[in-house]
Amino acid sequence: MLEIGIKGKAESLVNEQNTAASMGSGNLEVFATPYMIALMEEASQRSVAPFLEEGQSTVGTKLSVSHDAATPLGMKVWAESLLTEIDGRRLVFEVRAFDECGPIGQGTHERFIIKKQRFLEKVEAKKV
């Protein structure tokens, strides 16, 4: 059952593929903000997935985060999520990111519970 307090975690290693220079979000060989955000979304999504009904998923709809410290190549990074609000199909998470030296980012993330089939049908209808 979905309940406030569910926690999640996702981790990665900073490499050439997830740097700001590679992503185009900057020109330095440091962990890219878009990848930090992706880790935050992954931690949130994974944390609630086991509690969803058959045929359901979640989609990210809103992020408000800061990227507060740079992380060099070769260092481990991870994001942690905490489900803080459930409002019908809307889920709100507190998200934080870290590297081996400490915090690197924080904020909030919102996701909505969707029915996969119906969602995909709406997406496909855009092609017409």
Whether 42 is catalytic: no
Distance, in Å, from the CA atom of 34 to the CA atom of 20, rounded to the nearest integer, reads 8
Among 67, 50, 73, which residue's Cα sits nearest to residue 107?
A: 67
Domain-embedded: residue 109: yes
Domain-embedded: residue 2: no
Residue 128, pLDDT above cutoff 90: no
Whether 33 is catalytic: yes
Contact of 43 with 95, CB cutoff 8 Å: yes
Domain-embedded: residue 1: no
Number of compact structural domains in the chain:
1
Q: What is the pLDDT of residues 18-56, one digit of tens each?
A: 999 999 999 999 999 999 999 999 999 999 999 999 999
Whether 67 is catalytic: yes
Q: Which long-range contacts (CB under 8 A, 24 or more apart) does 14-17 make?
A: 14/71, 14/72, 14/73, 14/74, 14/75, 14/76, 14/77, 14/99, 15/73, 15/74, 16/73
Domain-embedded: residue 79: yes
Domain-embedded: residue 110: yes
* CATH of residue 85: 3.10.129.10
Of 19, 42, 67, 71, which residue is the catalytic one? Answer: 67
Domain-embedded: residue 47: yes
Of 33, 42, 80, 109, which residue is the catalytic one? Answer: 33
Domain-embedded: residue 58: yes
Per-residue model confidence (pLDDT) at position 1:
92
Please report which confidence band the pLDDT of residue 8 belongs to, taking 50, 70 and 90 as the band edges: very high
Q: What is the pLDDT of residues 48-106, one digit of tens each?
A: 999 999 999 999 999 999 999 999 999 999 999 999 999 999 999 999 999 999 999 99
What is the extent of the structural domain holding 67?
A: 7-125
Domain-embedded: residue 66: yes
Tell me the mean pLDDT in the region 97-117.
98
Per-residue model confidence (pLDDT) at position 68:
98
Distance, in Å, from the CA atom of 23 to the CA atom of 27, rounded to the nearest integer, reads 9
Q: Is the dihedral of CA 115, 34, 106, 64 positive or negative?
A: negative
